[in-house]
Structure 1
Amino acid sequence: MEIAIVKYNAGNIYSVVNALRRLEIEPLLTDNPDLLAQADKVIFPGQGNAGEAMAYLRKHHLDQVIRELRQPVLGICVGQQLLCRHSEEGDTDCLGIFDVDVKRFHPKRHEDKVPAVGWQEIRTNDNVLFKHVPEHVYTYFVHSYYVPLCASTIAEADYIVPYSACLHKDNYYTCQFHPEKSGKTGEQILQNFLSL
């Protein structure tokens, strides 16, 4: 089974590589559109700026190939946000797989810190991504922007406002949190994705 990771100018890619190695998978890290298209599964991770990331994807023709993938795809953190329609970060048009816009957190109280960093509870549904995962579980987040609840939401979190912790539409699955940094729960979610 060939697992490809989209290589672009976003941080956090190597923690995903290491998480897959712990599951005895040696992933292919590539920005080659043909290799991404041929992979059995594609992981689209990232930390960083949405505008800069989209500029890189367009320059290397990765935006079109990601839209055309028909195998299972997992977007992580900024990868989730870039699969949405638009992001407030840099007023950026994104890939448009999910028909929802990414918003910035606006603190309402003194204790509301942005970026939101740390372990937060998520509430899952019965999606295949959460097989053997409890309905209420904690995962690790680092983000200043969020995807509002929408028709594609399959897991919810609540920080300042309720928002989408995970999305699913067709062959595209996403996590706003970092499964590769979320202990046994994250490992199970990655394993479930690999088993699709």
Structure 2
Amino acid sequence: MTENGGLDLASEIDQNIGRNMRAQREQLGISQSELARQLTDIGIAGMHQTTIARIESGSRSLRAAEAIAVARVLNVSIDQLAQSKELVRMRWWVTILMERVARFHESARQLVQERVLVASQMDIRFPLDADRIFIREQLAKAGVDMAAYEAVEGALNRSDPLEILRNVYAAEAAQTSPTAREALTHSPSRTEDATRLEVRLHDADL
């Protein structure tokens, strides 16, 4: 402990290691006793269930060789083992955002491909005139149900990726409290940047 009551660097690192060690051990489904056994098997002496418990509570420091062995058994780096709560949180933000980006990219790609396929088939079967209108009489002659035709046209319109984004952002904005919206208009923020889709689309001429 420091003079002002906070943790000194060594104690903070011990706490970080203990917390991350426990989290990774539990994620792998390894008990404290099993971890102690695996460490003993690779030549780390003095490891018991109670030793692991003390390390995870932050009351017992890891020696260099022990830290390397723990990281190896738990399949993490020393850096990951010692990272702070804030760093863990920020790395999680990066991970979750990039995972969502990958899913969104794949979903958007599939949606665009399907829209192009459907639109091209509609153009072949029901070509538009100069005013981009397909005459109803032509539908009747082709024996096409008007309700089905309009359902496909409606689906093409509603599946526009940019329109979907607008709707999502509008829904998010509607859930933002008036106080938060007022605050966003008076100071720069990442939240404002993340919610101003219309401005972004306009600036990009989309």
Q: Above 0.5 in TM-score?
A: no
Q: Which has the higher contact order (CA 8 A, sep 6+)?
A: 1
TM-score after normalising by structure 2:
0.21
Q: Which structure shows the higher helix fraction?
A: 2
Q: Which TM-score applies when normalising by structure 1?
A: 0.22
